[in-house]
Amino acid sequence: MLRGVFCAVTGAAFLLSAAGAVLAEDRSSEPPHGLTTFEPVTLAFRPGDSKTLLVVNKSGRIDILDIADPESPVVLRSLEAKATAAAFSPDGNRIVSGGRDGTLRLWALEGRPVATPFRGHEGRVFSVAFSPKGDRVASGGEDGTVRLWPLEGAPATAPFRGHKGWVYSLAFSPDGNRIASGGTDGTVRLWTLEGEHAGQPFQGHRGGVNSLAFNPAGDRIVSGGSDATIRLWTLEGQPAAEPFLGHRGGINSVAFSPDGDHVISGGRDDTIRLWTLEGTPAAPAFEGHALGVNSVAFVPGGDLVVSGSFDQTLRFWTHQGEAAASPFRGYQERLP
């Protein structure tokens, strides 16, 4: 259901995060009077668009924000999608969501369903991603499987099996020929599109892998885990650097910079941290959130970082860790 246009107001605080383990740590409070609850668990930018940000809330609502003015984000529309995860297509015209009911759903940008639900997972879907060509979708979930789907929703292959626990995070390689996944068994796994293992599991984390990403060149994978470490890997599963140490709690989100030269991370210690590829801090810890940071992302084509958390704030930062705008604390629904 679409809710039209909303205007930004001040009031509470909140951020964005990866699904799965993060939800168990929710310590958020009720929003101030007059505010719609805004509890982001996932954020994603529309490809090539620095102004349009997708937010999945804990309630399952998807909000599409215009952040052209970081001091005054505007909610363009909301979808009552019952989502646990969502992602834009490469052309930015579609959204795929995964839900608590184990289904995937495909939406037009204006919020209209464009396919019947994709059914197959047994349990919640924690992560979804479009292939670089936009012709397939991958998903990972509570049933421990990774699944590949054409846009018509029929499974493209048998489920990818190997993880011994939930699959929290996944990503396509930039060339679209591999899928990486991470889960509660502490491993990162690399797959062919046929569901075959493309090597041995990447082992090193002493706890679940909550987030992972390929670098733009496609020859490195970064992962963040519940063991408070960030790890950089070759595609053969070998460490490309010593573990990145600094967070004082589990890592909820990791991402590469657009040029691939840095990694950003958000953790349960309420901080964001910027790293070189050697694992040394590139700036002081970004501090300001009152609760764990669930999701972080580089603003496309710019010099800002955006973060979200269950403290109910969305925050913008320079690469030096300074606040680039006032925290966005919520929005008020315009009544019909």
Q: What is the pLDDT of residue 302?
A: 79
pLDDT tens digit string along 112-164?
999 999 999 999 999 999 999 999 999 999 999 999 999 999 999 999 999 99
Q: Give the mean model confidence (pLDDT) for residues 47-66.
A: 94
pLDDT at 254: 98
Cβ proximity of 315 and 14 under 8 Å: no
pLDDT score of 2? 31
Whole-prediction pTM:
0.88
Residues 6 or more apart from 312 whose CB is under 8 A from it? Answer: 12, 13, 14, 15, 28, 29, 31, 37, 38, 39, 329, 330
pLDDT at 36: 63
Q: What is the per-residue burial (b if ≥16 Cβ within 10 Å, else e) of 203-217?
A: ebbebbbbbbbbbee
Residues 171 and 146: beta-carbon distance below 8 Å? no
Phi/psi region, residue 135 (left: phi>0; alpha: psi -120 to 50; beta: rest), is alpha
| Both tokens assigned to 140 | 């990972």
Which tokens go with 296? 């972080």
Angle, CA of 160, 165 and 166, to the nearest 5°: 80
CATH number 2.130.10.10 is the correct assignment for the domain at 7-332: yes
Quote the CA–CA distance of 162 and 310 in Å, as a whole number.
32
**What pLDDT score was predicted for residue 38?**
79
pLDDT for the residue 8: 30
Reported confidence tier of residue 331, pLDDT bands at 50, 70, 90:
low
Burial letters 31-57, b for 16+ CB under 10 A, else e: beeebbbbbbbbbbbbbeebbbbbbbb
Is residue 313 predicted with pLDDT exceeding 90? Answer: no
Task: Provide the pLDDT for residue 336.
Answer: 32
The pLDDT score that the predictor gives to residue 121 is 98
Contact 180, 212 (CB under 8 A): yes
Cα–Cα distance measured from residue 57 to residue 81, given in angstroms and rounded to the nearest whole number: 10
Looking at per-residue pLDDT, the higher value among 37 and 289 belongs to: 289
Q: 253: closest CA among 125, 81, 127?
A: 127
| 187, 191, 195, 197 alpha-carbon torsion, rounded to 10° | -70
